[in-house]
Amino acid sequence: MKFAEFKKAGHWPTLLAAFLYFDISFMAWVALGPLMIYIARDMNLAVDEKFTLVAIPVLAGAVLRVPMGILADLIGAKRTGIIAQALVIAATVWVWYFGLPTKFAIIAFGLVLGIAGASFAVALPQASRWYPPQYQGIVMGIAGAGNMGVVIDTLLAPVIAETWGWQAVFGALLIPMAIILAFYIGAAKDAPGERKPVSLEAYRALLRDSDSRWFMFFYFITFGGFVGLANALPLYFTVQYHVSGVAAGLLVALIVAFGSGFRPVGGYIADRIGGIRSLSILFAVVVAAYAVIAFMPEGPVSPSQGGWSLTTMPRIAWVSVLLFSIGVLALGMGNGAVFQLIPLRFRGEIGLMTGMVGCAGGIGGFFLAQTLGLAKGWTGGFGAGFLFFAVLALLGFVGLAMVKVRWRTTWGAVSGARV
């Protein structure tokens, strides 16, 4: 791929604006994950309740992706993105001033943060529509790499919370939110061409297509695994390995950086060798990572009341970090591979498919976080939850083997790209 040709092929200011919009939205969407140990400190909540609370924005974001996609088709992606960002900023201002004093307040704020999670259904189609088929993998990878916002969250939020209190995190978040909204207003443009209003019947028609259901399942595994772990791992490390909140944030930032940073790489490799081949390899890596993590023992309790620091953590915790890094890297690249294939199969319905597949991915993230919480509550450990998702990834691998011949000899043969 020649960069000069790629730059001329579409509209790079919109691609950059879509990336930044998704990035800051993702930061807001997963903000409760690294902060839950501070927000719920005086609420006497059980571990499984905390996992449920951090999963609420994920579920809300999943459910809202379809209506956000419909709205983007009705009034344009840019207008939809501006409205969504403004609503999330307003809710963030409220929490910065008034806090989250009750469990109900956390739930209500989590539902509003779902609007930020639904940005996926706006940013990715907005960028995709500007570019031809041979660049879809890298374009969707770049726009989707906005999920690296979770890296900044987990890296800085615990430090700010420890120093100035957790409400100050939302005050700090407002600064980049306002700057990026201003840039988005000035730089983003909707792609030329007539917008076709989309009805619920159009979604039902797509759901009847088996290919759309396969893509939803694959993204349920890849993006669901990524966002579910991004939300759940701060709690996981404090419970399983008894590390401090700051140490947990740093560890999760390191882990999720692999997933978000390598998403464009996953799209690029899929462009080169085909999305089916690359996704099959990545699913195999995910199965192995989840299966080994499921049998990892709990770490020793720290003699310090605040938990282990980064420099005093036991070796078993570092082994876990390595395994999660490998698994999340594969999940992130898998996200890019899935979205190399989707525009090739559903070029005319990319807005609808992004909403549907994004919804499935968000539900996967909620399901993973909730499953880990339930596993801990029912069995006293997290192993059963990770084993369950290892089986799902294995089913994804088998599913690809079932459809690859048909895909390559039908729509793949006329797509103009490697499948």
Q: Residue 5 pLDDT > 80, yes or no? A: no
14-39 confidence digits (pLDDT tens): 888 888 998 899 889 888 988 988 88
HEC sequence for 273-319: HCHHHHHHHHHHHHHHHHHHHHCCCCCCCCCCCCCECCCCCCHHHHH
Contact 73, 196 (CB under 8 A): yes
Of 16-20, 85-89, 259-263, 401-405, give the lowest mean pLDDT range.
259-263
With a pLDDT cut of 90, the percent of the chain lying above it is 44
285-303 confidence digits (pLDDT tens): 999 999 999 999 999 998 8
| Per-domain boundaries in the chain | 15-189+210-414
- Which of 252, 261, 231, 313 shows the shortest CA–CA distance to 32? 231
Q: Residue 119 pLDDT > 90, yes or no? A: no
327-372 confidence digits (pLDDT tens): 999 999 998 899 889 888 887 777 678 778 888 988 998 889 889 9
pLDDT value of position 271: 85
Yes or no: is domain 15-189+210-414 CATH 1.20.1250.20? Answer: yes
Rg (CA), the chain: 20
CB-based contacts of 307, cutoff 8 Å, min separation 6: 238, 242, 243, 244, 245, 247
- Provide, for the chain, the percentages of residues in helix, strand and coil under a 3-state DSSP scheme, each rounded to the nearest 5: 80, 0, 20
- How far is 93 from 78, CA to CA, in rounded Å? 23
Q: Residue 306 pLDDT > 70, yes or no? A: yes
The more confident residue out of 142 and 61 is 61
pLDDT value of position 81: 92
Of the pLDDT bands very low, low, confident and very high (cuts 50, 70, 90), residue 383 is very high
Mean pLDDT confidence for 411-415: 83
Mean pLDDT confidence for 305-320: 91
